[in-house]
Structure 1
């Protein structure tokens, strides 16, 4: 297995992008309850704090903060992907490589990670996450997308309900492979 260079800071806050292999798939929203259960299970065995999350049909973005002496976010993603994959019917295409490796062919192998560096970086990534359904044309306003922490953050007073986001095109945030 490859040893990818990842920034690891115990107790760090990280932005993630995780993609399905099939970019036309809608598995994540079709099986939202299974995804939520997989995340709950991972959090129970290896706690982490979810700062923000948005789930789109074929990918997701989130910000997590790990506990003080913990920097192992990869094991959590492995657990989430595995639990989700086991919980849904086998309907996806599987390549020869998937079959050889006994993989389902649901998730891209890697994920994109960015270590949050300061309050400005945190705020920009929070905005990016909550604006993402609008960016991809799934909705006209962040408040209309049901699979997002935006609603919880409105209740906490972090965002106004009519938040439209800033000009996301000028922000240097998000994933580089989308």
Structure 2
């Protein structure tokens, strides 16, 4: 998004033309790999503005995601989801973006799920802030999980994200993250071993330019 703005008008037109020729949307990131089981999904607020600046809004988003997407940690909660062939395995919600690690059987359902969640929250938050037609969300992107190592490194990346962005000093200091669920279900030693065995290194570098 931000690199696109740095291009000249001619360069922008050429880039859009190339995207269209490849069958991609003109500005949103293309979803190239759609036949895997696990994905890291990322959604960002428009221009990375902190539209989820309060804990209540972040929790509001999580509640709606759990309701529509399903949650692997609670079968009763998952049963009310829009679809039963998608489960959330890890998550974090920050003031201007969020990450989900999901299992999905039908990739085609994701666009509609994001549209419903983002649409409902955009209307509600604009009413709350007395703002008309404000664009809350930019887009969502996906990264296919390639291996067991990639999966657990992604879990670590998600849990470390609040620390990476300087919001807290410890992953346990952030509320809207699945690290607390893993802590309760797997234990602190499991999380430590996972961190040691699957280090981040340069994982996720520059992703926040979405």
What range describes the TM-score normalised by the shorter chain of this pair? 0.7 to 0.9
Q: 2:135 aligns with which of 86, 89, 105?
A: 105
Check conservation: 2:58, 2:95, Cα contact below 8 A.
no
Check conservation: 1:127, 1:165, Cα contact below 8 A.
yes
Could you report, residue by residue, the CA deviation over 1:80-128 in whole angstroms, capped at 9, with x for unpaired residues?
Answer: 211222332343877xxxx5xxxx40000x2221000110000111100
Match of 1:2 in 2: 25
Moved over 6 A (4+): none
1:20 to 1:114, Cα distance in 2 relative to 1, 3 A: same
* Structure 2 residue matching 1:84: 3-state secondary structure: helix
TM-score by length of 1: 0.78
Which structure 1 segments of 5+ residues have no match?
A: none
Check conservation: 1:56, 1:133, Cα contact below 8 A.
yes
1:37 to 1:55, Cα distance in 2 relative to 1, 3 A: same
Match of 2:166 in 1: 137
1:23 matched to 2:52: no
Could you report, residue by residue, the CA deviation over 1:43-93 in whole angstroms, capped at 9, with x for unpaired residues?
Answer: 3212321110000111111101013xx122222211221122233234387
Q: d(CA) in 2 for partners of 1:161 and 1:56?
A: 24
Q: Which entry has the higher C-alpha Rg, 1 or 2? A: 2
Q: Which moved more, 1:81-90 or 1:149-158?
A: 81-90
* Structure 2 residue matching 1:49: 3-state secondary structure: strand
Match of 2:123 in 1: 86
Q: How does 1:27-46 map to 2 (within 5 A)?
A: 27=52, 29-43=55-69, 44-46=81-83
Which structure 2 segments of 5+ residues have no match?
A: 1-23, 70-80
1:125 matched to 2:154: yes
Q: d(CA) in 2 for partners of 1:118 and 1:74?
A: 24
Greater RCO, 1 or 2 (C-alpha within 8 Å, sep 6+): 1
Check conservation: 1:142, 1:150, Cα contact below 8 A.
yes
Higher normalized helix content (fraction of residues): 2
1:146 matched to 2:175: yes
1:75 to 1:159, Cα distance in 2 relative to 1, 3 A: farther
